[in-house]
Structure 1
């Protein structure tokens, strides 16, 4: 797509036109007659009317004051509105409720509007609303609310249609028109992946409808609606589309959590039982435990332990099974002993706490020698992303479908690696023949600043990269990268906070930092166990603050 300079006053209009052309070209078979008519009618409007429409699309909400729609590049707003109103795309609402009126009018206007009903007209705006709510005022027209009001209220009527255009273009509804602006400014730059004819996020009209319905359900959950009413809507929302299935599972899991918070154990169990989320099975055991159904919880935990689905389940069951056995009156069970980690006990001056515990430890360790960096999850992910760039951004059918993707759509699918098996084998093979160093450095230069789901450019300096490649054994890197590929969503986080290099000696040490009262999280424990298993040098540093210098 062509980037437009933000110096062009109509840059936003050019971007919107491109989206419509893109959607019409790639998704014409998924558009209904109203959507096709909108695209074609829009193209025939004069530029001022087009621009005013796009301004409303890009703004929040669907109701606007006429005096807030003045734009220099558009000129006469009233003239630009005429064709939009004639088409029925913009209208003056027949009635407004009290909340809508308060969102649109200024405080002084509200004080005049309700002069005879307000006891304290000079109070804050939210207090004015509190004074009027007990009156249970019915919705009515603006003229009835406020005779002689100087402004007009305009309603943009096609936001759902334009949201569908955005969904088809981006393949989601969390990206919006600001992505164009950030790209035009050069603040976000994307890898240019070639698109094939089947490079589409959604393939059937029913999938578009389902995506919109899931989005509306998620909004209702955020607004605090009753989970039962949302679940009733979701009962018929199923699809084989991988993106929609993931979205459905995340939303279903969130609904299960909301049921748990409400103590609705039966409904939580029913929701989790139908959910494909990675944590849904373990939450079922937890719900049974929290509702004191010990035998059922123990039986389910034993069944899961026989065939755990992932490392998260293994870890959770190691805690749950002994606890549940005790609840059933069984003998105490010893937890499996593991080899101890290297521990560092530090007592640092209390004034160093202002630095943050990680930075305070980093500075202390640097005094002992070596080069110490705060990296947490950024370094190993970045090295993986640079080495495997060609595999991650391979033009696999359906993985890329718009120019604003930081990564492939199927990144968290179970077959992500398999669909690119030969490419990943070639990339990881460079760790065996020693060519990985140059490949990583070349990619660091060639792809500098491009969006990636793995590479953290602000944290990745040339110095850090050189030290890492000098000190990190390729065999250990390969173990880390293979673990990452086993479960990208879970394993890309939890890595130690600091890394200490001794370039002259070609060695390193990772350090997980814990301040007073802090404890190791589950994903951190899993990474530490992995490091112990594969011989990666790692230590856990416990910090206490001292008032004495």
Structure 2
């Protein structure tokens, strides 16, 4: 084999990189959130800074690991040294403890199988039991609680339990504005794994403006966790409560959670509770679900009245599509006029019989079958049009508005999916879209593709948007079509980023293209795909639906 070029070495972080990053976040919070930090958080920051370096490092290691219980013999960090020496100041402050009570189930998660066997009386057949069975044996014999050293007095390890995890979670929430991102974002950025757009942040750039907002977010998060952990849906609804939130962003998050809970209640056939919660939620799609429940309960007149309200003022294309179907069903039952089907122009149809099934999927089978040197085909799905949109409108998307960016690790503005996202940036978006009028968009998109390569953004799949694909798209896609696609995206970024045709074929000599939605045997068009196909066909964009059968 020919010699392969050596890959550049991956840069290694400094031994205490995680401690430096955590301290950087604490400094950031003191600069921007000092008025929202409570006494306990301020005391934590002050005491943390005064601790020995090894103790600070150990605490951050525990904060970043899954806990809250940690065996000392499993804490091995060369840069920290003796774990017990590092732990002593943390024990004195009460930030960790060795005396946390454990039941048999909690203890069993911390012990190996042979360690569990040592706690049980030697009886016949015990060695054949699996670990969960051994834990059950231990629980039946010793149902109470005790500290680790009480359970295992002869064990050489000590057990440390983190007691400030909840406090540090609150600090992480203030820094990131969410609990989705973690402290590892720092090192991933330092290593070049992730790159983020550097947006100018003012001293008052922050995600929360008052303590009530922080508490409200954490309450919603706990309710989400309770649902994920299997708490009965009705109990989660009770935990959530119905007290209104003054913060519009948190109100939107609450409405979405209420919709999720109502959907689960509907699946559980608790229709009265689901109907009430859908009505309270008002989240997008809730009205259509109410119509479905009323239909299911044979309350056709109430359902029909709700359909009429939706037709008069639909919240989006998706709702309009669904309530038109409901109108036709209900009108027949109630003897009302049935609205005609207005699907617009239809996409052209291709039928293919190909050898298969293809190991990489039906889309790749069609791609290989249709592609040629003169007319290459690319599998793009939802990546090409949003990618071009993201490059052309980069400065509008990352425009530093208040409440949009508040830390260095944003892949998108915090209000990306809010109803007024486009409205707040209308001037910036119009300036970007104006480039489509004078062909300057070609050079602008190329320049952005080079400058922003690899930066995190929800619109661009860098591995798919190659230079070859970019050049063919700029050569063959007319500006008028780009303008229509981009404006449709802006109308509803959450919904309209999905459902685009799978393939695109370019004809460079003729400077034209066609898009192809691929459907394999037994597959059919989804509603969002139908809406995109109808939009393209309505505006004279070449789009086709390809149905594939396997010859074998």
TM > 0.5 = yes
Structure 2 residue 376 is matched with structure 1 residue 371 = yes
Gaps in structure 2 of 5+ consecutive residues = 1-9
Specify the SS of the correspondent of 2:34: helix
Question: Which of 398, 402, 407 is equivalent to 1:393?
Answer: 398
Question: Is this contact kept in 2: 1:372–1:499, CA < 8 A?
Answer: yes
Question: Which of 211, 217, 226 is equivalent to 1:220?
Answer: 226
Question: Is this contact kept in 2: 1:119–1:131, CA < 8 A?
Answer: no
Question: Which of 404, 410, 416 is equivalent to 2:415?
Answer: 410
Structure 2 residue 48 is matched with structure 1 residue 48 = no
**Alpha-carbon deviations, 1:369-411, whole Å to 9, x = none?**
5010000010000100000001001111111000000010111
Specify the SS of the correspondent of 1:309: coil
Q: Hey, what does 1:95 align to over in structure 2?
A: 101
Question: Is this contact kept in 2: 1:111–1:122, CA < 8 A?
Answer: no
Moved more, 241-250 or 38-47: 241-250
Question: Is this contact kept in 2: 1:66–1:152, CA < 8 A?
Answer: yes
Once the two structures are TM-superposed, the CA of residue 116 in structure 1 deviates from its matched residue by 4.9
Question: Is this contact kept in 2: 1:20–1:39, CA < 8 A?
Answer: yes
Moved more, 132-141 or 414-423: 132-141
Question: Which of 68, 75, 95 is equivalent to 2:74?
Answer: 68
Q: Hey, what does 1:353 align to over in structure 2?
A: 358
- TM-score of the two chains, using structure 2 as the length reference: 0.94
Q: Hey, what does 2:327 align to over in structure 1?
A: 321
Once the two structures are TM-superposed, the CA of residue 132 in structure 1 deviates from its matched residue by 5.0
Question: Which of 145, 149, 152 is equivalent to 1:139?
Answer: 145
Separation in structure 1 between the aligned mates of residue 142 and residue 500 of structure 2, nearest angstrom: 55
Separation in structure 1 between the aligned mates of residue 25 and residue 124 of structure 2, nearest angstrom: 48
**Alpha-carbon deviations, 1:468-518, whole Å to 9, x = none?**
001101011000000000010000111000000001110000000011111
Question: Is this contact kept in 2: 1:221–1:227, CA < 8 A?
Answer: yes
Separation in structure 2 between the aligned mates of residue 138 and residue 282 of structure 1, nearest angstrom: 51
**Alpha-carbon deviations, 1:109-167, whole Å to 9, x = none?**
01111235795333221232354566682222334433422322111000011001110
Structure 2 residue 294 is matched with structure 1 residue 283 = no
Once the two structures are TM-superposed, the CA of residue 299 in structure 1 deviates from its matched residue by 2.1
- TM-score of the two chains, using structure 1 as the length reference: 0.95
Separation in structure 2 between the aligned mates of residue 455 and residue 240 of structure 1, nearest angstrom: 34
Separation in structure 1 between the aligned mates of residue 107 and residue 160 of structure 2, nearest angstrom: 12
Question: Which of 287, 294, 312 is equivalent to 2:300?
Answer: 294
Structure 2 residue 506 is matched with structure 1 residue 501 = yes
Separation in structure 2 between the aligned mates of residue 132 and residue 126 of structure 1, nearest angstrom: 10
Separation in structure 1 between the aligned mates of residue 386 and residue 60 of structure 2, nearest angstrom: 39
Question: Which of 300, 303, 320 is equivalent to 2:309?
Answer: 303
**Alpha-carbon deviations, 1:241-278, whole Å to 9, x = none?**
34322321221111111111111101111111111321
CA 1:383–1:333: 2 relative to 1, 3 Å: closer
The 5-angstrom pairing of residues 52-451 of structure 1 reads 52-116=58-122, 120-132=126-138, 137-236=143-242, 238-328=244-334, 335-336=341-342, 338-350=344-356, 352-367=357-372, 369-451=374-456
**Alpha-carbon deviations, 1:403-432, whole Å to 9, x = none?**
000010111111111111111111000111
Separation in structure 2 between the aligned mates of residue 337 and residue 366 of structure 1, nearest angstrom: 31
Question: Is this contact kept in 2: 1:412–1:488, CA < 8 A?
Answer: yes
Separation in structure 2 between the aligned mates of residue 499 and residue 20 of structure 1, nearest angstrom: 49
Once the two structures are TM-superposed, the CA of residue 240 in structure 1 deviates from its matched residue by 3.6
Question: Which of 452, 461, 471 is equivalent to 1:466?
Answer: 471
The list of structure 1 runs, each at least 4 consecutive aligned residues, that deviate by more than 6 angstroms after superposition, is 329-333
**Alpha-carbon deviations, 1:14-52, whole Å to 9, x = none?**
111111111111001000111001001101111100000
Question: Which of 30, 34, 46 is equivalent to 1:28?
Answer: 34
**Alpha-carbon deviations, 1:77-118, whole Å to 9, x = none?**
110001000000010134101221111111110111123579
Question: Is this contact kept in 1: 2:343–2:534, CA < 8 A?
Answer: no
Structure 2 residue 544 is matched with structure 1 residue 542 = no
Separation in structure 1 between the aligned mates of residue 301 and residue 141 of structure 2, nearest angstrom: 55
Specify the SS of the correspondent of 1:458: coil
Question: Is this contact kept in 1: 2:347–2:534, CA < 8 A?
Answer: no
Separation in structure 2 between the aligned mates of residue 134 and residue 215 of structure 1, nearest angstrom: 35
**Alpha-carbon deviations, 1:144-203, whole Å to 9, x = none?**
433422322111000011001110110000111121121111010001000123311100
Q: Report the aligned-residue RMSD.
A: 1.9
**Alpha-carbon deviations, 1:55-88, whole Å to 9, x = none?**
0000012111111122111001110001000000
Separation in structure 2 between the aligned mates of residue 483 and residue 433 of structure 1, nearest angstrom: 21
CA 1:270–1:236: 2 relative to 1, 3 Å: closer
Once the two structures are TM-superposed, the CA of residue 301 in structure 1 deviates from its matched residue by 1.4
Gaps in structure 1 of 5+ consecutive residues = none
Question: Is this contact kept in 2: 1:253–1:272, CA < 8 A?
Answer: yes
Moved more, 320-329 or 514-523: 320-329
Moved more, 211-220 or 146-155: 146-155
